[in-house]
Amino acid sequence: MTGIDNFKIINDTYGHAAGDDILVKTAEVLYESARSSDYIFRYGGEEFLIVLIETSKAEAYSIIDRMRKKIQEKSIYIQRDERIFVTISAGIATYNGHPDYECLIKAADDALYQC
C-alpha cells in the first residue's frame, strides 16, 4: 500500500486539478516501474494498492523503494512555471495464507501508517 505524502496540503494549496494531475503522474510512474506480473489499483483518495505476485518481503522492499525513488525524482508541473516534487510512503505486508484478502489489505494499510 502506498500513499502520496501531504496530499491534502497539495490539494489545499494548489487546487484539486493539480491534485488530480499528481495522482495521474504518480500512477504513471508506478505502472512504468511495475513488472508485467504486478497489479496496481487506486485505493482511496491518494493511496495505491500494489500487488506483487510471487515476491518475497525483501524483494518487495526493493521494488517499492525503486518506485519511491522514481516518484521522488520526477518533477510535476502544476502550473505553467511551477513544479513540485512528490514523495510517497509505503507499507508492505506479505500473504500469510489467510483466505480473506481484506486481512492482507488491512495489514498493508496498518504498515503504511506506521511510517
Which residues are identified as catalytic? 46
β-pair type (88-90, 82-85): unpaired
Going by the DSSP 8-state scheme, the letter that residue 70 receives in this structure is: H
Residue with cell 510471487: 54
Residue 15, SS3 per DSSP:
coil
